[in-house]
């Protein structure tokens, strides 16, 4: 039990400061290895905004069918910058390409010139998904590429949501425009219907007017015929009346002459009779001859009395002869007057019928005119409606897509995935194994050196006690370790290449660089042991190992770790080993490899030089060296 008591082993840590410090370090070693590593990689995905990502916008805005401009590239850039999910840096194509190549940017995202055009093509029968080009470089970090790919899926989905909205908006605008055309066509159809109704009403009115016009025309024609007949009768009667009047006039003239003669004879007879009467009164016994003589004596004669009687007789005879003719003329005149009266009555009646027919004809003509006007208006409205309907339907037809089954399938795919990632990876590695190989090879070489110095003495005592120089003394301990390190590298690389399947682009150079790394780590840890002593030197090596594991960027990009690790990142040897191995394995040998080569060569030389200098000073033995505070 005494062997297990704390006093037997721990009591030696009670003397001096270094043992106490070493004991404290022992207490914190699990914390350093556990908490430090967990702290470094606790939530790298929450620090993706620290990853420097180049963003290039080459998009040329496209003109939509409705005349609006679609600048989808600018919209995507604004969305990405506003989101801040990654450390976007808006640069041009040349800067992005060189930055991805030399590690300034983890990867680059380029929005090509035809991005808006591709998104606008959803309006056409040949829709194309918008492309976002992503350029990775595994030399920068395989895990950074992997994280970037996952991040870009989210970016794609976010951009797709926006572009889907744009695509849907474009389609809905087309559908809305088509719907407007259909509504306009509907309005035009209603206008067409109204025009047709008006035309139908006008035609009905026109038909009624024409019917009235036809009937009135029939009545007017009959009245016209009657009027013509009456006028013919009137003409005939007038002719007979004229002839009768002529004859009456002629007979009247003869009658007048005969009447004059009759009057003259009668006067003569009357005068002779009066004379005879007077003579007879004077001399009742007077004879005819006396009488005649007396008449002659008084300027008259019985012959003149006889001639007057003859004239009276002749006039009466003539008048008797003319009287029938006069009677006929008067009868003819009366018949002509009757005929004229009948014809005039017929003509008047016909004229009234004609007037009524003409009135009806005028009314029918007016109705027909109104109907024709209404029909003309309806026809114009019908024509306007037809034209509007034809125009709107033509516009709607022009806007309405004509998709084939393959077009529909393509369009469905584009709508479902409006944005695709066109990803390229420079210096591509095989997968996680090769991607993490630089980190684990770095870890292996450092641990290999640590184990080597557990077995070998970093500083042999025999040369230290001689007059050998500090460098020769150091090399006495270092050279045996070099052979072991070289054997470790050869065995490890052979198994990785032949057994595991590692395929570095530059196998020989990779092996040589790993060998250089192993030698540099051997020299660095030897320096710690020579400077600080075996126990403290090994503790410092262990602490350095942990710091390198968490800050080298061999796993997650150092930008995703807390700022402490980003701050020490440039000073950790593992940082340069990881960078150098990535370049050699992936094939992207650039300036970072040469910097790594120079750093590790310098680390080797400086470590040996410091060890030689410290060894030279240790040739003087002191009590502290004879009895160190802490031994392992």
Distance CA 463, CA 474 (A): 9
Does residue 300 belong to any structural domain of this protein?
Answer: no
Decide if 118 contacts 130 (C-beta within 8 A): yes
Q: What is the mean pLDDT of residues 600-612?
A: 95
List the structure tokens of 393.
């339907």
Q: Work out the average pLDDT over 473-479.
A: 90
Is residue 1 very low, low, confident or very high in pLDDT (cuts 50, 70, 90)? very low
d(CA 37, CA 35): 6
pLDDT of the residue at 55: 92
pLDDT at 344 over 60: yes
pLDDT (0 to 100) of residue 484: 94
Q: What is the pLDDT of residue 315?
A: 62
* Per-residue tokens: 174: 């087309």
As a whole number of angstroms, the distance between CA 430 and CA 149 comes to 15
169: which residues sit within 8 A by CB, 6+ positions away? none
Query: How confident is the model over 315-328, as pLDDT tens digits?
Result: 666 656 666 666 67
Reported confidence tier of residue 256, pLDDT bands at 50, 70, 90: low
Mean pLDDT of 207-234: 69
Residue 577: pLDDT above 90? Answer: yes
Residue 530 lies inside a defined structural domain of this protein: yes
Closest CA to 328 of 257, 236, 256, 240: 240
Give, in degrees to the nearest 5, the angle at Cα 455 between 453 and 458.
40
Domain housing 588:
429-626
Token digits of residue 227? 């009027």
Residue 242 inside a domain? The answer is no
Q: Work out the angle between the directed axes of helices 534-551 and 432-455 (0-180°, nearest 10).
A: 170
**The predicted structure's pLDDT at residue 354:** 64
Contacts of residue 598, defined as CB under 8 A and 6 or more positions apart, other chains included, come to none
pLDDT at 217 over 70: no
pLDDT of residue 4: 45
* Burial (Cβ within 10 Å: 0-12, 13-18, ≥19) of residue 24: exposed
Q: Which tokens is 467 given?
A: 């007059």
461: number of CA atoms within 13 Å, CB side? 3
Any idea how long the chain is? 632
> In total, how many domains does the chain have?
1
Strand, coil or helix: 249: helix
**Are 122 and 412 a contacting pair, CB within 8 Å?**
no
**Residues of the chain above pLDDT 90, percent:** 19
Cα(167)–Cα(148) distance, rounded to whole angstroms?
Answer: 26
Where does residue 410 rank: exposed (0-12), middle (13-18), buried (19+ CB within 10 A)? Answer: middle
Q: Is 143 contained in some domain? A: no
Which of these ranges, 51-60, 447-456, 478-487, 554-563, has the smallest mean pLDDT?
A: 554-563
How does residue 609 score in pLDDT terms, banded at 50, 70 and 90? very high
Give the distance from CA 148 to its chain's centroid: 33
| Residue 500: DSSP 8-state | I
- Reported as a pLDDT band with limits 50, 70 and 90, residue 576 is very high
Is 604 among the domain residues?
A: yes
Pick the most confident of 165-169, 283-287, 307-311, 510-514: 510-514
Average pLDDT, the chain: 76
Specify if 49 maps to a domain. Answer: no
Helix (H, G, I), strand (E, B) or coil at 185: helix
Owner of token pair 């630089």? 438
Residues 364-379, mean pLDDT to the nearest whole number: 70
Lowest mean pLDDT among 110-124, 186-200, 419-433: 186-200
Of all helices (H) and strands (E), which one includes residue 506?
none
**459 pLDDT above the threshold of 50:** yes
Is 320 inside a domain boundary? Answer: no
pLDDT at 569 over 80: yes
Q: Exposed (0-12), middle (13-18) or buried (19+): which is 284, by Cβ within 10 Å?
A: exposed
The pLDDT tens digits of the residues spanning 523-539 come to 999 999 999 888 888 88
Query: What residues contact residue 469 under an 8 Å CB cut-off, 6+ apart?
Result: 612, 616
509 pLDDT tier (thresholds 50, 70, 90): very high
How many Å apart are CA 188 and CA 392, to the nearest integer?
Answer: 8
C-alpha–C-alpha distance, residues 68 and 350, integer Å: 79
Please name the residue ranges forming H helices in 400-533: 405-416, 432-455, 461-465, 470-494, 507-532
More confident site: 52 or 302: 52
In whole angstroms, how far apart are CA 177 and each of 20, 191, 404, 422?
Answer: 85, 20, 21, 34
How far apart CA 70 and CA 426 sit, in angstroms, is: 33
Q: Round to whole Å and give the CA distance between 398 and 400.
A: 6
pTM, whole model, 2 decimals?
Answer: 0.61
In a domain, 88, yes or no: no
Per-residue pLDDT reduced to its tens digit, 270-296 = 666 676 667 667 676 666 666 866 666
pLDDT band at residue 3 under the 50/70/90 scheme = very low
Q: Of the ranges 45-59, 243-257, 455-469, 562-576, which one carries the lowest mean pLDDT score? A: 243-257
Q: Tell me what the mean pLDDT of segment 173-187 comes to.
A: 64
Banded pLDDT at 2 (limits 50, 70, 90): very low
Which of 78-92, 149-163, 451-465 tops mean pLDDT?
Answer: 78-92
């Amino acid at each position: 039990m005494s062997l297990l008591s704390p006093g037997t082993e721990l009591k030696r840590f009670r003397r001096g400061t270094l043992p106490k410090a070493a004991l404290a370090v022992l207490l914190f070693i699990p914390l350093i290895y556990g908490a430090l590593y967990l702290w470094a990689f606790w939530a790298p995905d929450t620090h993706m905004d620290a990853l420097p990502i180049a963003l290039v916008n080459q998009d040329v805005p496209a003109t939509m069918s409705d005349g609006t401009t679609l600048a989808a590239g600018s919209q995507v850039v604004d969305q990405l910058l506003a989101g801040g999910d990654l450390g976007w840096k808006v640069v041009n194509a040349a800067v992005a390409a060189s930055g991805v190549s030399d590690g300034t940017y983890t990867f680059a995202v380029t929005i090509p010139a035809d991005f808006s055009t591709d998104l606008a093509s959803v309006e056409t029968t040949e829709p194309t998904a918008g492309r976002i080009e992503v350029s990775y470089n595994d030399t920068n970090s395989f895990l950074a590429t992997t994280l970037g790919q996952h991040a870009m899926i989210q970016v794609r989905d976010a951009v797709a949501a926006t572009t889907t909205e744009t695509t849907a908006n474009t389609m809905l605008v087309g559908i809305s425009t088509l719907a407007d055309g259909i509504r306009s066509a509907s309005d035009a159809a209603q206008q067409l219907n109204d025009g047709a109704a008006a035309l139908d009403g006008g035609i009905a009115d026109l038909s009624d007017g024409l019917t009235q016009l036809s009937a009135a025309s029939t009545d007017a024609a009959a009245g016209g015929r009657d009027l013509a007949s009456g006028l013919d009768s009137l003409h005939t009667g007038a002719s007979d009346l004229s002839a009768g009047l002529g004859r009456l006039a002629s007979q009247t003239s003869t009658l007048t002459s005969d009447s004059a003669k009759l009057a003259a004879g009668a006067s003569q007879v009357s005068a002779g009779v009066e004379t005879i009467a007077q003579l007879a009164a004077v001399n009742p016994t007077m004879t005819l001859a006396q009488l005649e003589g007396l008449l002659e004596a008084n300027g008259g004669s019985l012959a003149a009395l006889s001639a007057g009687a003859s004239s009276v007789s002749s006039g009466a005879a003539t008048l008797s002869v003319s009287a029938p003719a006069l009677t006929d003329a008067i009868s003819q005149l009366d018949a002509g007057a009757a005929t004229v009266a009948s014809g005039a009555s017929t003509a008047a009646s016909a004229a009234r019928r004609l007037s009524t027919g003409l009135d009806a004809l005028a009314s029918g003509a007016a109705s027909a005119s109104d109907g024709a006007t209404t029909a003309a208006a309806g026809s114009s409205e019908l024509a306007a409606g037809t034209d509007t309907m034809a125009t709107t339907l033509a516009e709607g037809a022009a806007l309405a897509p004509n998709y084939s089954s393959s077009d529909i399938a393509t369009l469905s795919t584009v709508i479902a995935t409006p944005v695709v990632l066109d990803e390229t990876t420079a210096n591509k590695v095989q997968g996680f194994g090769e991607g993490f190989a630089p980190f684990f090879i770095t870890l292996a070489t450092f641990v290999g050196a640590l184990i080597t110095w557990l077995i070998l003495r970093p500083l042999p005592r025999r040369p230290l006690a001689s007059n050998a120089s500090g460098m020769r003394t150091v090399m006495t301990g270092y050279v045996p370790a070099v052979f072991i390190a070289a054997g470790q590298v050869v065995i490890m690389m052979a198994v990785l290449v032949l057994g595991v399947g590692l395929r570095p682009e530059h196998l020989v150079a990779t092996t040589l660089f790993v060998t250089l790394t192993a030698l540099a780590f051997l020299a660095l840890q030897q320096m710690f042991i020579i400077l600080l002593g075996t126990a403290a030197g090994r503790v410092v090596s262990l602490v350095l190992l942990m710091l390198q594991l968490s800050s080298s960027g061999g796993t997650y990009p150092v930008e995703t770790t807390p700022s402490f690790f980003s701050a020490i990142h440039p000073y950790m040897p593992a940082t340069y080993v990881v960078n150098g191995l990535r370049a050699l394995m992936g094939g992207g040998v650039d300036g970072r490899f040469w910097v790594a080569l120079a750093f590790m060569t310098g680390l080797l030389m400086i470590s040996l030089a410091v060890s030689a200098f410290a060894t030279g000073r240790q040739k003087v033995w002191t009590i502290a060296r004879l009895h160190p505070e802490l031994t392992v």
